[in-house]
Chain A
Amino acid sequence: MLSYLFKRLAVAVPTLLVLVIVSYVLMYAAPGGPFDTERALPPEVMANLDRKYGLDQPLVVQIWRYVASIVTDFDFGPSFRYQDQTVNEIIAQGFPVTLTYGAWSFLAAVLVGVSLGIAAAVHHNTLLDYFAVGVSIGAQVLPNFVMAPILTLVFTLWLGWLPGGGWQGGEWPYLVMPVIALSTSFMASIARITRSSMLEVLNASFIRTARAKGLPRRRVVFRHALKPALLPVVSYLGPAFVGMITGSVVIDFFFATGGIGQFFVNSALNRDYPVLMGVTILAGGLTVLFNLLVDLLYAWIDPRIRY
């Protein structure tokens, strides 16, 4: 197990390094400096600013310093636009929000998706199955940026049940629409994957044996079929996580929840590179970490995988 972990880390660490280097080089190559304003500053002031932020050093030194300060102090440096805020403070402010509705969405997508998939497979070719398949096909063309306006239109403008945005410390009315908008398309994919792999497993001979022994159907489905049927779902969790992290940008943008996505879009519009890079690297780090967890989970569920 340990050697497997190290093998996975051997991919994870270069991934993060590539991400940091690519984004730093992109930022370095960007036309126009971070302190360019409408009125040109005197060259001495520019030089001082550059020195203060270490921008007068060669590229390699800059990258080295950046990586070193992230690794040793978890410090992403100052924001160029908001002089009184560091990138860390911005992330600390937005991340809990994103994490809250993100975790709920993930939970909802997995629980509802898996249940729907199992129900559809067990009641294969019944009305319930057709309903589940219909929902999961329909939801495929409803990504978060389509779901969000539709939900707001129905629940805020027409029915007036839910607030159209804001956060208010995460009270549940403010949580409902972000969670639904973010989780729907992933829920659909999980339902589809669960259904097809469950159908396959239910046709396997060990299931027939279990049924022939006279075990009740419920027990066969949950004790014998569920674990192997969930393997493809587990391997989908990684991409789903990436999709949700990305989707959170739309949610924060559209519902003004104040999560990191909102800062990300604002800094993209303001060319606030340190914030952009900080958020990108944070998202990359979380993704790598999560993929590592999924791999370990997979290896634990499926003993055939030898590390």
Chain B
Amino acid sequence: MTLLFGRRMFREPLPPGTGDAPAGRSLWHDARARFVRNRAAVASLVVLLLVTLFALFGDFVAAWSNEEIDWSMLGSVAENGAPSLANGHWFGVDELGRDLFARTVQGTRISLMVGIVGALISVVVGTLYGATAGYFGGRLDGVMMRVVDVLMAIPYMFVLILFMVVFGRSILMLFIGIGLVSWLDMARIARGQTLNIKHREFVEAAVAIGVRPRRIILRHIVPNLLGVVIVYATLLVPSMIIYESFISFLGLGVQEPDTSWGALINDGASQMQYGTLWQLLFPLFFFVVTLFSLFFLGDGLRDALDPNDR
């Protein structure tokens, strides 16, 4: 401090805001600059925004509702049900004569929601669990991480399906079930990071002035985990979407008239022998494009937020 003031003493007073020291470059500022330079990641972000807009506002654009059956199509779906601008079925109709555009909008909604909710649960539960285990260490850490080990060794998809069968298949149960397993990886990662930062000076300082452990974890540890947590959460969204689609593909997930990408892909796959390929290709397109973008976004965020990792 004295040195800085000492040097300044010999200079003309500077107008405010034009210091000769380089402008402050925070971690987040740097990260944004690095992210914007990554074209694939920025393009993915744009694609994801478009898909989200499609899910949010597709309903207002759609000419048909997702439950409405177009009786004129019934029985002649293969001949007349193809995508067409004239009759308002832009993505065609499914085997029951329902508008595929409206159904894709709804499927996209549910799939995105599952991804986001699953990732959110994992961020909240996993981060707190991991930070607590890592911060306290010792026996508590041993027990908590052993629990995670045990849960991770279980083929959760089977348990998840069992869970869905027992408690009834609904979207809420799907969220709960996926939330129950999604936090395990995050807990491990958060714990590892916590072990790294808990011996840093700012944590020691906080301990020295008598801050309670609870407050240290929430105010000092967790904010410093955020970079890694965000990157990992982005990469979790696609795996949550894949879990849900997997279950719905088997017909054990969302129930009619609700739908999701997995259920739509299964519908399309079971009808493709009749030549109604649009039923498979539209949901598949949304699924693949979204997952691709999420992976690239996660990659871009990792490069931006975690420079050590390159």
Which of A's residues lie within 8 Å of B, judged by CB?
A: 11-12, 14-15, 18-19, 22-23, 26-27, 29-31, 137, 140-143, 145-146, 148-150, 152-153, 157, 164, 242, 245-246, 249-250, 253-254, 264-265, 268-269, 271, 276-277, 279-280, 283-284, 287-288, 291
Contact = CB atoms under 8 A, between A and B. Distances in A.
B284 A253 contact: no
9 contacts: A12-B153, A15-B154, A23-B162, A26-B166, A27-B162, A157-B273, A264-B161, A280-B155, A284-B155
Nearest to B290: A141
Contacts of A277: 162
Contacts of A279: 158
Contact of B272 (A29, A143, A149, A246): A149
B240 interface: no
A280 B158 contact: yes
B287 interface: yes
Given A26-B162, A137-B295, A146 B246 contact: no
A271 B165 CA distance: 7
Given A254-B269, A276-B165, A146 B158 contact: no
Contacts of B81: none
B245 interface: yes
Interface string B139-176: 00000001001110111011101111111100000000
Contacts of B161: 264, 268, 276
Interface-centre pick from B155, B167, B249, B273 (highest chain A CB count, 10 A): B155
Given A26-B162, A137-B295, A280-B158, A143 B246 contact: yes
A280 B159 contact: yes
Contacts of B269: 148-149, 152, 254
Contacts of A150: 284
Nearest to A270: B165
A279 to B, nearest CB: 7
A280 B162 contact: yes
Contacts of A142: 288
Given A149-B268, A279-B158, A280-B158, A141 B291 contact: yes
Nearest to B280: A149
Contact of A19 (B159, B163, B292): B159
A31 B295 CA distance: 40
B265 A287 contact: no
Is the contact region of chain B dominated by helix, strand, or loop, or is it mixed? helix
A27 B269 CA distance: 32
Nearest to B161: A268
Contacts of B252: 265, 268-269
A234 to B, nearest CB: 17
B251 interface: yes
A23 B272 CA distance: 37
A15 B165 CA distance: 22
A150 to B, nearest CB: 8
The 10 tightest CB contacts between A and B, nearest first, are A149-B269, A141-B291, A280-B158, A30-B166, A246-B157, A145-B249, A283-B155, A15-B150, A15-B153, A26-B166
Contacts of A19: 154, 159
A134 to B, nearest CB: 12
Nearest to B291: A141
Contacts of A254: 269
Contacts of B291: 140-141
Contact of A276 (B155, B162, B284): B162
A249 B162 contact: no
A246 B153 contact: no
B118 to A, nearest CB: 16
A45 B72 CA distance: 51
Nearest to B252: A268
B73 to A, nearest CB: 22
A250 B250 contact: yes
A31 B251 CA distance: 20
B115 interface: no
B268 A253 contact: no
A287 B155 contact: yes
A245 B159 CA distance: 13
Contacts of B273: 157, 164
B159 A146 contact: no
Given A143-B242, A145-B265, A246-B158, A11 B153 contact: yes
Given A26-B163, A30-B166, A145 B246 contact: yes
Contacts of B159: 19, 22-23, 280
Interface in B238-293: 238, 242, 245-246, 249-252, 262, 265-266, 268-269, 272-273, 277, 280, 284, 287-288, 291-292
A269 B155 contact: no
B67 to A, nearest CB: 23
B166 A18 contact: no
Most chain B CB within 10 A, of A14, A143, A157, is at A143
A242 B246 CA distance: 14
A294 to B, nearest CB: 11
A11 B149 contact: yes
Contacts of B149: 11, 15
A145 B165 contact: no
Given A141-B291, A287-B153, 19 more contacts: A11-B149, A30-B166, A30-B167, A143-B245, A145-B246, A145-B249, A146-B284, A146-B288, A242-B155, A253-B249, A265-B251, A268-B162, A268-B250, A271-B165, A276-B162, A280-B162, A284-B155, A284-B158, A287-B154
Instruction: Give the one of B162, B245, B269, B292 with max A CB within 10 A.
Output: B162
Given A18-B150, A146-B265, A246-B158, A140 B295 contact: yes
